[in-house]
Amino acid sequence: MRFADIPGLNEVKQVLVQSVQRQHVAHAQLFRGAEGSGALALALAYGAFLNCENRQPQDSCGQCASCRKIDRLVHPDLNFILPVTTTKAVSKDALSHKFAAEWRTFVLAESGAYQGLNDWMQHIGAENKQGNISKDEAVQLLKLVSLKAFEAQFKLVVVWLPELMHPAAANAVLKLLEEPPPATVFLLVCQQPDKLLPTILSRVQLVPVRQFREEEITQHLVGQFGVLEVKARQLAQLTEGNLGAALAARDQDGGNDYFQTYADWMRACYGLSLEKIVAAADNFQKMGRENQKEFLQYALGLTRKVLLYGLDPQLVPHLPAQEQTFISRFCQFVHRLNADDLVRELNDAHFHIERNANPRITFVDTSLQLAEYLRLPAAV
């Protein structure tokens, strides 16, 4: 994993690179990022950069023996502590090292480094069981760090989702952070740091990882995977910074042009055209429930953009020409007097669709409510 493989996040990459160049490598670092962020990917890229034998000014070389082994997750000095559980394949003593092969397959998939706990549990066949880092993992961890690095400058210990540690495992990690073994770097990749022991938080260097911006996801999908820009932008808006979700959804049926559907729908609502509203409801019903939910989520995001554009166009940069033309005209009908009501109606529609309400009736009812609010005049 190279820094160059990760879209955007240049400000975080620069901080990590400079810490190595200035030889200020903290023995314990906590990469804090929401699900679908680049936290795990950055930790892996940082580990490759630390142990690269031919380090470049801004990235690892990708060609030396260390980089090639880390890329395949088989480096003897790269170790993982993961939330796991018993499965059909591992019926007892579920420990991280027993899932090493599954972890490699999981992370090395196209969206692997950006996936979440539920994806990992499904990957290992956990069924309805919850994963955690058990107390038995503490013993394995202590044995692991007691050994010197085999061939690299640093022994790397990546703890993925440390908030799921059993108290015994958390205390073992705390002890290691208080008295760190020589030439060992702990990289904790966390989504909910508030669930960690305060004493652990006080002994790690925090690396905040923001969610991906829509433009970063869009460019990544277009440039790396050849996704059409219209679809890539819609996926970026739908997934709200979750690159893993965007990558997972890119191969799904893309027959729905959500932007055009939204624009036509809003015009029908404002014009109170019952014929067009009913026709739109018929098309909405044909979408299928998951696409209906996705469309309503997209509508919520785009309505928010319309409101922001009306406040200040600079708040919504990087709009494609087609969307900008529509939003620049539609923003005069979305204002502070009706924005909350519009959002509430769309949220309610999503809620009802999620609970198997009749989609046609839901869509018509929501359309009539939106029509009423869209026709409210803005404050003078």
CATH of the domain at 287: 1.20.272
Token pair of 50 as six digits? 């630390």
pLDDT score for 256: 56
Same domain, 344 and 286: yes
Same domain, 86 and 204: yes
pTM above 0.75, yes or no: no
Number of structural domains in the chain: 2
Same domain, 203 and 275: no
pLDDT score for 318: 67
Kindly give the confidence (pLDDT) of every residue in the chain, 380 residues in length, as a single tens digit, with 9 standing for 90 and above. 899 999 999 999 999 999 999 988 999 999 999 988 999 999 999 999 999 999 999 999 989 999 999 999 999 999 999 998 888 888 788 888 888 899 999 999 877 789 888 788 888 888 767 788 988 888 888 888 887 778 888 999 999 999 999 898 899 889 888 888 888 999 999 999 999 999 999 999 999 999 999 889 999 999 888 888 888 887 887 777 888 888 877 765 544 578 889 999 999 999 999 999 999 999 998 887 767 887 898 899 889 889 999 899 888 876 777 788 899 999 999 998 899 999 999 999 999 998 889 999 999 999 999 999 998 887 64
The residue segments making up the domain with residue 157 are 3-210
The answer to the question of residue 236 being in a domain is: no
Same domain, 304 and 360: yes
CATH of the domain at 80: 3.40.50.300
Same domain, 114 and 197: yes
Same domain, 188 and 278: no
Same domain, 302 and 353: yes
Task: Indicate the angle between helix axes 359-374 and 274-286, nearest 10 degrees.
Answer: 140
pLDDT score for 10: 92
